[in-house]
Amino acid sequence: MPEMPEVQAHAERLTEDFAGAVLDRFRPLTFTALKTFAPAPEAAAGHPLLDVGRRGKHLLLRFEPVTFVVHLMQGGRLKPDEKQAAKPRGGQARWTFADGRALLLTEAGTERKAGVWVVEGDPLGQEPLDHLGPEADTLDRAELGRLLADNPMRLHGWLRDQHTLAGLGRRLANEICHRAKLSPFASTGKLDDDAVDRLHAAMGECIAESLAYERTRSDMSSSKDRPGAVHHRQGEACPVCGDTVRAVEYRSYTVNYCPTCQTGGKVLADNTTSKFLK
């Protein structure tokens, strides 16, 4: 799933290419794409796109009367629509502009989870953004410490919980735990001050490095292309210590870690027993 750095860099590219373009019409291409009944998306017709912003993993297409909040979920993409085909593959929704260009929201696969919310006024206090925690790159050390203690969970899951902290997913959770030299299964309620210091520094570094990389791209990179130390690198050597990167597999995702850097050399049990560690 695209995480904060990919979505942020994409929002910046879309702003550069489409800001100022006047919307001709918005059209959902499936029954599930538009998640709201009111206000009507037609309210934006005739208005220029102000910019494309981001909150958590959501894109915000701002027009003066309404904002379109787009969640890409796992397989969604929002791209310039060169062909403007009547039935585009995976097509979910299309914004057509008066200058003839268009943006197309597609979703690979059959999950139908990507979607568009149309909201009036400040979108931050409304669905689907109202339950998001603070942006992961805006927390100071003290606030991070307080949030960790307030909601004791396994660290990897805590980092990915959008209600606690917005913007991080599996890849950054893996990379941040490794950078901070913390077990992905450490309890957030038991981290000492030194561990919270390392976690805070690791979050800032990993997010900044990812964003810098994504800004060099002309489109969202795929997960396997992104630089990193442990994510999707099981069996490879840890770039810090040379130990073998390990994996704990879950049904829908994988936790990667380096035993020497993160778990005192302990290799964690794989999937059959690891459900007890979740």
Q: Under the criterion CB under 5 A, does residue 274 sit at the interface with Zn ion?
A: no
Closest CB to Zn ion among 129 and 238?
238
Among 107, 258, 263, 268, binds Zn ion (CB under 5 A): 258
CB of 246 to Zn ion, least distance (A): 10
Q: Under the criterion CB under 5 A, does residue 180 sit at the interface with Zn ion?
A: no
CB of 175 to Zn ion, least distance (A): 12
- Roughly how many angstroms between the first and final C-alpha of the chain, as a whole number? 20
CB of 239 to Zn ion, least distance (A): 8
Q: Under the criterion CB under 5 A, does residue 239 sit at the interface with Zn ion?
A: no
Q: Under the criterion CB under 5 A, does residue 245 sit at the interface with Zn ion?
A: no
Q: In the block, which residue shows the tokens 């403007």?
A: 84
Among 85, 237, 241, 267, binds Zn ion (CB under 5 A): 241
Cα angle 174, 124, 203 (rounded to 5 degrees) comes to 20
How many residues in the chain?
278
Provide the β-strand partners of residue 237. 244
Closest CB to Zn ion among 176 and 258?
258
CB of 259 to Zn ion, least distance (A): 8
SS3 of 118, please? strand
Q: Under the criterion CB under 5 A, does residue 177 sit at the interface with Zn ion?
A: no
Residue nearest to Zn ion (CB): 238
Q: Under the criterion CB under 5 A, does residue 267 sit at the interface with Zn ion?
A: no
Residues 6+ apart with CB under 8 A from 39: 65, 66, 118, 119, 120
Size of the site for Zn ion (CB under 5 A): 7
CB of 248 to Zn ion, least distance (A): 16
Q: How many helices (H) and strands (E) does the chain have?
A: 7, 10
Closest CB to Zn ion among 25 and 181?
181
Interatomic CA distance for residues 266 and 250, integer angstroms: 19
DSSP state of 231: T
- The sign one gets for the Cα dihedral 137, 142, 145, 146 is negative
Closest CB to Zn ion among 11 and 155?
155
Cis omega (within 30 of 0) for bond into 39? yes
Instruction: By CB under 5 A, name the binding residues for Zn ion.
Output: 238, 240-241, 243, 258, 260-261
